[in-house]
Structure 1
Amino acid sequence: MFGQLLTGTAVAAPSATTTPSPGRIAWEPCESPSGQGTFECATLKVPVDWKRPRGATIDLALARHLATDPQRRIGSLLINPGGPGGSGVDFALDAPEAFSPELLERFDIVGFDPRGIGRSNPVMCDMDLLTAQGELLYPDSDSSFATLREANRALGESCRDLTGPLVDHMDTGSVVRDMDAIRAGLGEQRISYYGVSYGTLIGQQYAERYPHRVRAMTLDSNMDHSLGMWDFQKTETRAVEEAYGQFADWCARTPSCVLHDQDARALFDSLYKRAEAGELVLPGDQPHTVTPQEVQNLIVGPLYRPTTWFQLAQDLADLDATAAGAARSLRKFGEPTEFPFFSVVCQDYDFDVPSYATLARFERELVRRAPVTRVSPLGWTVQTGCQDWPTEVTNPPRRLHVDGTPKILMTNSRFDPATPHDWASNAARQIGREAVLLTYDGVGHGTYWRSPCARDAINTYLLTLKAPRKGTHCPAVWPTGPSVQRQSPSGGLVDPLPDLPGPYRSTA
């Protein structure tokens, strides 16, 4: 996974208010793990702190898949897979299997590991402190909330000690400056961009800061950086409830789903209550008492990818029967020493909660609004994990102010458990006349690999700049039989997106 990257020529350090000088990046041939495609790799120096451009630097890792029809090459298409924590280098190395041939023909597809991620000076944290924090993200009292705050601060300080001053400059605003340095290093006056999930926040803020340097921009599965902590929690929780409801309805009308004759909503509610009571115990040499959070975590990943729903139904049935095989579906999530997640989100959002009473009030209201799935595990732990995080909120929530870009194509699933459709529609309203929102009426995260209709619209837009009409909808695609998890519906593409961000990245 960590292929050797060759050092490139650094771009001259710009002042805090000027554009980076367009020094060219020195690319060298490299290979993808699959052996497919023609690739080049390099590194690019950028300031740790863009307010001190002549100070310490880090090397950003880059990879690009060269256009297969160079005579018809349009330019560079920069890409980001989200997270925060996803590797843009890996995303680019996956390009031959992940993107349609027409994009591969006409663009150099360029991925970079954002600062502090992957091969770009990764944020390192103490593994034991990370594990300890993970066990405290659902406080149930004043004392456990205080303990969580202490654990967050200790973890964050360990990240700073092990990584250095970069930890204090992980906000998306800094990544946007990095991306423009890459544009200059590529020698491009304008770039095309495709970002997914957290990658849409990079794109939104790039369009805001550098509107005249955008040729085309597709934002797939959108963030909404204007949200306060309650609106963030409310929308995340509703999204998981609605997405699981779509799974339950699909099971009810699909005879080959093993829960076809059961009410999947009632089953989840029963499993959660049994876990709350300590009555959900898996047998084995070391019997395991399942927690309510493990029940919730079980559904999060499969709601990203409906291709996994047949297996999700089987996992829920196994858990209900407390079969030994259910332990497989509750596999432990990774405990990485590389852990940039909170270093980014805790600088991009102000999630500080004044007291446990406030947090408990949030939880009661969320459970009232989402009586089946209760809370969004991702939304909840983003908030609890940022309590007393030792870095400042350097890129606080605010409304977007985009003016002067070409049309920006925004796409979103109607039932996305991670980036709710509400976020996309609200972000599109903030962008205004430059935004065109396309809705995929199905479930999942990352419309390019869920919907052939959305994929065709994205390809057409990036190639021709012709956006679909505002308000366009693409029909839902439902699983019809067990399939390879990462195979996208039709087209033969492989979904390269990270399984889950932050505390939910699996070891699979």
Structure 2
Amino acid sequence: MRTTSRTFGVLVAAVALVAGMTTTASAAPEGDFRPAPVDWSPCPELPEVECGTLRLPVDWSRPRGAKFDLALARRKATDPAKRIGSLVIHPGGPGTSGVEFAFAAPGWFSPRLAERFDIIGFDPRGVGRSSPITCSADLVARRPSTYPTTQAGFEALGRYNRDLLADCRARSGPVVDHADSRSVVEDIDALRRALGERKISYYGLSYGTLVGQQYAERYGRNLRAMVGDSNLDHGTDAWKFNEGTATASEDSFREFVRWCDTTVTCALHGRDVGAFWDDLIARADRGEISEPGDPTRPVTADQIVDYALLSFYDPSWTQLSHWLVARAETATARPADAPGAARTDEVVAFPFIPTFCQDWQIRPRSLREYTSLLRRADELAPHMSRAFLGHQVRHGCVGLPDATNPQQRPRFDGAPKVLLLNNLHDPSTGYGWAKSLHRQTRPDTVLLTYEGWGHGSYIRTDCVRDTADRYLISLRTPADGTRCAPAESPELPIPTSARTTAPRPVRTGW
């Protein structure tokens, strides 16, 4: 999945079923490695936050082998007399910085939680400051067609994926092959021990919910409380994962259309939005759309679909409508012929594929299987099937080795009751995944539904926020099936108490 500069303002702003686990992460008992205490000091970027590192094994089955430094950030409880313990946070991705999430914590978590918990973020292995996975920018840009029409084209896609992974490995080292969520789980429990905590509380957002689920499976006895916000279902096979991403994105498109039909601030109000969209995408496919003011900079159909998907995260529908109209009014001009761009040795952060493809056994083995997935996505999402969340999953793991941490039915035996939060109209982690996860984990989970839009539930309304805070502080779960009404305006869903001028972490992936 491409890295994007969209921030957590975009949230408010980047998956065959296999029985049994083959990962090596759980092979090492926790007593085989003793982490040193963290040496905290003021963060250079934000001195009111403490930063540190934790030296950990790259391969948890070989705890005496190669090591990497896990980057950490801590906001200490603002009222030490009321302190409950540590709240470990994970903002998702794969590829999003938990250190940056801790920097921005006042804009996300309530003052009530800040009083009672040390809020601790970390950059997961392979991300940000934690031995980042980087790859050749030139190679990333040279991906062959992801809509092959021949077996040869499909095989070329597999060769490309293997070459790209080899390049990432050569540049980034062995962490590339140990970026799965089970390894991150071991890192979190080592962090717990380094903090001297008998139990931790955990808040996982989006892809962070998968890490949290797997922590609850392996180390449930070490959890005090856990909130999963915008949930992935690791018990779903490749076909249903494909259907889930398509259904979620198309549902948000329909909600955007419904809003435009009834809202005069939509730049498309009074028009057939679906017909407008189809025409815009067709023109982009013919190379007829450009950036406003620069006819030499074409805008592709994929770029339009991706921008729309990211706009659904807030949602920021008014902005999206004006953005679409502005591009529909452009035309492209053929740029002057120029020699091909010289290749460089520039690198880009690219943790999504190495992580995702180790966590999910999604490997179309033939052109027929691959095109069946594409066709099904088109059926379910005629306007949004190209959206990168689903499409990169379909093509990014083709030809790669089997997943080391493949899907399995989640089991939370030994963990405390887990609170699941999900929006009814989430463009990324669709509500169907939350319902499926809850159905598989009853009575160990409670599901709270926010009946609104966007990605990320905790920050939506006081109803959601207060319920989650009450659980994290007092361990009182709401009644299963609790629902919170949507905010009056889908575009202004953040309570005043949550707004801040603090920087927000970069958003990539889920």
TM-score calculated relative to the size of structure 2: 0.87
Tell me the alpha carbon deviations over residues 175-208 of structure 1, each in whole angstroms, 9 at most, x when there is no partner. 0011000001111111000010010001000001
Does residue 247 in structure 1 map to residue 256 in structure 2?
A: yes
Does residue 361 in structure 1 map to residue 372 in structure 2?
A: yes
Measure, in 2, the Cα distance between the counterparts of 1:54 and 1:140.
Answer: 48
Tell me the alpha carbon deviations over residues 241-292 of structure 1, each in whole angstroms, 9 at most, x when there is no partner. 0011111111211112211111222221222223334444567665344432
Tell me the alpha carbon deviations over residues 406-451 of structure 1, each in whole angstroms, 9 at most, x when there is no partner. 2110001111111111111111122221100011111111112233
Partner of 1:505: none
Q: Which ranges in structure 2 are unaligned for 5 or more consecutive residues?
A: 6-24, 333-345
Does residue 313 in structure 1 map to residue 324 in structure 2?
A: no
Tell me the alpha carbon deviations over residues 32-80 of structure 1, each in whole angstroms, 9 at most, x when there is no partner. 7466xx3222111111111111111111111100000001100000000
Contact 1:62–1:113 under 8 Å retained in 2: yes
Partner of 1:55: 65
1:18 equivalent among 26, 30, 49? 30
2:219 equivalent among 207, 210, 221? 210
Tell me the alpha carbon deviations over residues 351-393 of structure 1, each in whole angstroms, 9 at most, x when there is no partner. 111112222222222212222323442111122011123x541
Instruction: Map residues 72-83 of structure 1 onto 2, 5 A cutoff.
Output: 72-83=82-93
Residue identity over aligned pairs, in percent, reads 43
| Change in CA separation of 1:83 and 1:452 when aligned onto 2, cut-off 3 Å | same
| Change in CA separation of 1:169 and 1:488 when aligned onto 2, cut-off 3 Å | same
Instruction: Map residues 39-438 of structure 1 onto 2, 5 A cutoff.
Output: 39-133=49-143, 136-280=145-289, 286-306=295-315, 308-322=316-330, 337-389=348-400, 391-438=401-448
Contact 1:451–1:477 under 8 Å retained in 2: yes
SS of 2:452's partner is strand
SS of 1:125's partner is strand
Tell me the amino acid that sits aligned with residue 147 of structure 1. Answer: A
| Change in CA separation of 1:256 and 1:180 when aligned onto 2, cut-off 3 Å | same
Tell me the amino acid that sits aligned with residue 304 of structure 1. Answer: Y
Deviation for aligned residue 1:22 = 6.4
Instruction: Map residues 426-505 of structure 1 onto 2, 5 A cutoff.
Output: 426-477=436-487, 479=489, 488-494=494-500, 496=504, 498-501=506-509
SS of 1:272's partner is helix
Contact 1:21–1:184 under 8 Å retained in 2: no
Contact 1:27–1:40 under 8 Å retained in 2: no
| Change in CA separation of 1:53 and 1:499 when aligned onto 2, cut-off 3 Å | closer
Contact 1:342–1:386 under 8 Å retained in 2: yes
Q: Which ranges in structure 1 are unaligned for 5 or more consecutive residues?
A: 2-12, 325-334, 503-508
Contact 2:365–2:399 under 8 Å retained in 1: no
Contact 1:301–1:500 under 8 Å retained in 2: no
Tell me the amino acid that sits aligned with residue 470 of structure 2. Answer: T
Deviation for aligned residue 1:96 = 2.5
SS of 1:301's partner is helix
Tell me the alpha carbon deviations over residues 319-372 of structure 1, each in whole angstroms, 9 at most, x when there is no partner. 222279xxxxxxxxxx96221111100100111111122222222222122223
| Change in CA separation of 1:150 and 1:429 when aligned onto 2, cut-off 3 Å | same
Tell me the alpha carbon deviations over residues 94-143 of structure 1, each in whole angstroms, 9 at most, x when there is no partner. 1123221111111000111111111111112111111112x633434433
| Change in CA separation of 1:51 and 1:40 when aligned onto 2, cut-off 3 Å | same
Measure, in 2, the Cα distance between the counterparts of 1:480 and 1:166.
Answer: 41
| Change in CA separation of 1:281 and 1:58 when aligned onto 2, cut-off 3 Å | closer
Measure, in 1, the Cα distance between the counterparts of 2:56 and 2:185.
Answer: 12
Tell me the alpha carbon deviations over residues 458-491 of structure 1, each in whole angstroms, 9 at most, x when there is no partner. 111111111111111111225477x7xxx83432
| Change in CA separation of 1:383 and 1:497 when aligned onto 2, cut-off 3 Å | farther
